[in-house]
Structure 1
Amino acid sequence: MNHNPPLPPASPLSPRPLHHLAHDRRRVLMAAQLRAHGVSAAETNEQCRPGGPWQQLLPGVVLLHPGPPTSEERLHAVLLYAARQSAPAGVPVQPDAEKPYRPTYREAMITGLAALNLHGFSCAPPLLSLEQIDVLVPRLRRLRSTGCARIVRTPDLPAAEQATGVPVAPVPRALADAVAQLTDANVVRRLLTEAVRGGHCEPATVVRELNRAKLLSRPHVVDAVDSLLAEGRAVAEDGLYRMVHEYGLPDPVWNVDLRLPGGPHLGGLDAYWPEQAVAVELDTRAPRQGLRQDDDEVWSEYARKREHLERLGITVVHVTPRKLRDAMEQQAAVVRTALMAAPDRDPAAYVVVLPR
């Protein structure tokens, strides 16, 4: 005879299987994940009643405490809502308490102002001040913006970057998504300027993304882009000055125009060594591609200028801001080689050097 007392009936409605989450810093779960813990939909609804211990942040997304969500909890709630869910819901019924659950988010990433905040932009607003958090998903996903989640669609989802454990869109894409929602020219200008000044990305990359998003028809965005290009040139010029001094190159004459004696204007140069007939030109005009209808003419004129100078025996070293930032030593070696090779070349034509 079995003298063991009968076991009490199991209660599938009890939220006790979630006790291991009490010390997890992110207590946000999908309703489907709660069901995997044995918590029924009815019990979830009961727990989320007004004044109850849980709350529903977004459709199908539950916060396992009654207070206001933290900025981190809002981010993860938005990602849980937007991410493509695996089947089953992804949380084991008996998870290892030593290894708290960390979700993975398929086909979803934070973008816009929230992403810029996570990338470290000082002029981006605090996360808790954002009424909605932008989340980037593939174009064909069947989702709608609701609550604190604003759905942003794209035909080509970029590779996500990680910031504070959250998948975020790359800076150029996040910038474009933020600018799409902004009408304040000063705010747009500050964001674009910080992107370049803070070394987050090159002006060309930003402008390409803005052009792809069809934002360059907006006057306040075009004005901000002009400021962006000016900022990009200032940063590049500073890098060129540092390259010359840090790597011991002889001092050139800076920012000059060249002319043939009594003849036409040959063009402006950022740095020129008259004795060696070596010139450096910064390529900061590339971002303008796509902004003006006369781009082909601008580039044709640029190519003609370079070819003309080289026919006159002047060596032109073409330097981009990215090369100065990422490979300054290599660029200094290219310029030094051109200077050292000057005695082996035919003498250059005489040109008049004027301040620009």
Structure 2
Amino acid sequence: MNHNSPVSPCPLTHPGSPLPLASSRRVLTATQLRAHGVGAAQIEEQCGPGGAWQQLLPGVFLLHPGPPTSEERLHAVLLYARRPPGPGAVPQQAPRPAGDDADLPYEEAMITGLAALTLHGFPSAPPLLALDRIDVLVPRTRRLRSTGCARIVRSAALPRPRQITGVHVAPVPRALADAVAQLNDAGSVRLLLTDAVRGGHCEPTAILRELDQARLLPRPYVADAVESLLAEGRAVAEDRLFRMVREFGLPDPVWNVDLRLPGGPHLGGVDAYWPDQAVAVELDMRAGGDAEWSEAVRRREHLEQLGITVVHVTPRKLREGLDQQATVVRTALMAAVDREPAAYVVVLPR
């Protein structure tokens, strides 16, 4: 056979196939097939009646006749989304040599929405094969349309993806926002938001930020679900705070109390307080903006002026470094003997 001889189109499993037998993936683009010597006519023949291949998406082919697996659908969607622009399109980057896209990462496309949440391990997200469409996040400037099993979601700025089972996946807050945008059922939205916090995937503030940027918070069913999200976030954070005190041998505080000056104004609530050492722990569960932050700072400064040490912790700090937060609290308790006595305050149940 000389270099002008046509290459017979064969399925991957055929010993005479021009394609790499070691490939673990049976999904390739037309460009990748051409790089292996398979022309357009051969592709059309293989995808015709009785052929061994099938076209999943424009320019993306499944190299076996049976139904695609979940992994094959994911890779097909990503290959379609990062496919180089066709003739006449404005290129978004420098042109690449023919066939070079076979080695490209999915740097400008990532799975998002419900499919991403399934890959992140959300119990309430549906199985991948149950999804008629898979959401894929691309730059806003990409000239792509939703088709087949691929639904295009555009963004002015792409987040940094996570890699799960070899697939680029949007981080949980962004995937949640894209999933919620396609839902209209309060129960489903509430379950997804609860899974995010209960499973330790992210904090409520990160979710709220994405929902706000996507302009989803005004939707009534989203607003209802957000209330449950904040309640779940506080419950999880309080549980970690209880564990911190118990597991690291800290003295028992009084929990969830209000502080007041005798006969004076209300000083604010704290999540844990050690009266003998005048040390308070305050969980930062803010869901608001600058006004709420300013009020929290003002309250903390007032307590510190009275000689009360305020340890400010976030749910993320408790999730990622419980031992470090225990050390901070223990240090504050030990330092109490070297401080001036704090003002007397009244401690009341909150």
CA pair 184-254 structure 1, distance change in 2 beyond 3 A:
same
Task: State the partner residue of 1:134.
Answer: 135
Q: Is the 8 A contact 1:239 1:324 kept in 2?
A: yes
Q: How many residues align?
A: 335
Residue aligning to 2:163: 162
- What secondary structure does 1:270 align onto? strand
1:234-290 Cα distance to aligned partner (Å, 9 max, x none): 1110111111111111100001111122222111110011111111111112xx125
| 202-211 or 145-154, which deviates more | 202-211
Give the partner amino acid of 1:141. Answer: R
CA-CA distance at 1:147 after TM superposition: 0.3
Indicate the SS of the match to 1:281. Answer: strand
2:331 aligns with: 337
Rg larger for: 1
Asked if 2 retains the 8 angstrom alpha-carbon contact of 1:197 and 1:231, the reply is yes
Distance 1:58 1:84, change over 3 A: closer
Kept after mapping to 2: 8 A contact 1:21/1:27: no
Tell me the distance in 2 between the aligned counterparts of 1:78 and 1:330.
Answer: 42
State the alpha-carbon separation in 2 of the partners of residues 27 and 314 from structure 1: 64
Offset from partner CA, 1:288-340 (integer Å, 9 cap, x none): 125xxxx51x3333222212211211111111111111122221111111111
Question: Against the structure 1 CA distance between its residues 11 and 260, is the aligned structure 2 distance closer, same or farther, given a 3 Å change threshold?
Answer: same
Identity of aligned residues (%): 72
Verify the 8 A CA contact 1:14 1:38 in the aligned structure 2.
Answer: no
Partner of 1:153: 154
Counterpart in the other structure of 2:81: 82
What SS does structure 2 have at the residue aligned with 1:240?
helix
Query: Structure 1 CA distance, aligned partners of 2:207 and 2:74?
Result: 25
Which runs of structure 2 are paired with 1:157-236 in the superposition (5 Å)? Answer: 157-236=158-237
Measured in 2, the distance between the counterparts of 1:52 and 1:36 equals 21
Cα displacement (A) at 1:24: 3.7
CA distance in 2, matches of 1:19, 1:84: 22
Q: CA RMSD in A?
A: 2.0
Q: Summarize deviations over 1:214-247 as a string: whole Å, max 9, x none.
A: 1111111121111111111111101111111111
Deviation track 1:67-123 (CA, whole Å, cap 9, x = no partner) reads 1111111111111111144431237xxxxxxxxx87632311111111111111111
User: What TM-score does the superposition give when structure 1 sets the normalisation length?
Assistant: 0.89
Runs of 4 or more consecutive aligned structure 1 residues displaced over 6 Å after TM superposition = 6-9
Matched, 1:301 2:295: yes
Contact 1:18–1:37 (Cα < 8 Å) also in 2: no
- What corresponds to 2:37 in structure 1? 38
Q: Evaluate the alpha carbon distance shift between residue 302 and residue 136 of structure 1 in structure 2; reply closer, same or farther with a 3 A threshold.
A: same
Q: 1:251/1:218 Cα in 2 relative to 1: closer, same or farther (>3 Å)?
A: same
**Alpha-carbon distance in structure 1 between the residues aligned to 2:310 and 2:342:** 12
Structure 1 residues 21 and 7, CA gap change in structure 2 (3 angstroms): closer
Query: Quick check: 103-112 or 214-223, which moved more?
Result: 103-112
Aligned-partner Cα distance in 2 for 1:206–1:7: 60
CA distance in 2, matches of 1:263, 1:7: 97
With the length of structure 2 as denominator, give the TM-score of the two structures.
0.90
Per the TM alignment, residue 59 of structure 1 is displaced from its structure 2 partner at its CA by 0.5
Matched residue of 1:341: which SS? helix
CA pair 42-267 structure 1, distance change in 2 beyond 3 A: same
Helix, strand or coil: the match of 2:17? helix
User: Is the Cα contact below 8 Å between 2:234 and 2:285 reproduced in 1?
Assistant: yes
SS in 2 for 1:11: coil
Segments of structure 2 that go 5 or more residues without pairing to the other structure are: 85-95
Question: What's the offset of the Cα at 1:166?
Answer: 0.7
> Counterparts of 1:306 and 1:334 in 2: how far apart (Å)?
17
Give yes or no for contact 1:84–1:106 (8 Å, CA) kept in 2.
Answer: no
Question: Structure 1 residues 349, 49: closer, same or farther in 2, change over 3 A?
Answer: same
SS at match of 1:156: coil
The more displaced of 41-50 and 271-280 is: 41-50
Q: Paired residue for 1:10, among 5, 8, 13?
A: 5
Structure 1: distance between partners of 2:3 and 2:283: 79
- Cα separation, 2, equivalents of 1:253 and 1:168: 43
